[in-house]
Structure 1
Amino acid sequence: MTYDEFLQAVKTNTLPEISREHPVTQALVMLQGKWKNHILYELLCHGRMRFGEIKKLVPEITNTMLAATLRELESYGLIHRIQYNEIPPHVEYYLTDKGKDLMPVYYEIFKWAYMHLNDSHAKEPGNT
């Protein structure tokens, strides 16, 4: 669906009803959570990274939560995990093509946030 087709569907109220199976709902579920977007952003900026490197860039997260979040992102196909069986063994994570396809989404969110949240005046009621 193109953007123009999407706008037309919104105007004519012909978009599919939002449900658990709706693609937008599924996408939001994949990206919801305290740490997922931060981790995806770091992988987007830095490329292939080890567990400890991600931990340094997201220091507030516990090791257990980081491991669980990485597993979840991998289960969604957004990141890939490579285990190197060498001495010492290590694991690296990187974005899949599906994960990289989020870059334009993050860019649009960045533009929206910069326009609407960067200026304290824009936050006041009645100012658009």
Structure 2
Amino acid sequence: MKKAKGYEIWEAAKDRLVEWLERKTENYSKTKAVAILAVFCTAVILMLVFITAKGFYWNEKTGLRLERFSTKAIRPAAESKIYPTDTDIAKRLSKARRFLDSLAAAPSLRHKYDSLLSARPALMDSLKKAEYYYEH
């Protein structure tokens, strides 16, 4: 079976790299080589643990953050590359509260409001607390 040309290029590059590494490390003792490998592996493992922990638990503003996976993240606007500010979040919260108040006020939509509150009993309390947090 004939090998592809890209395979031959890859093999040649690999052989050159092996020769270069052998020349650079020919004066290393076995102990020194094992020590270098151990330091490298330890550094990589520590870096991976740090990145993983930071990805799951670190929040720039409040320190640690624990969330359920089913919650939706607040996404930045399409034209913006930064996350929304506290005032943007406060505006969204007040808009959501006005919407829920309008559902409660309209007799034809009152059943939707009641349905929301029966599914999420603490919704209005949480909304009030979040509004207070972002406004003060």
- Tell whether the structures are fold-level matches, with TM greater than 0.5: no
Normalized against structure 1, the TM-score is what?
0.28
Specify which structure has the higher proportion of strand. Answer: 1
Normalized against structure 2, the TM-score is what?
0.27
Structure number with the bigger relative contact order (C-alpha 8 A, sep ≥ 6) is 1
Greater C-alpha Rg: 2
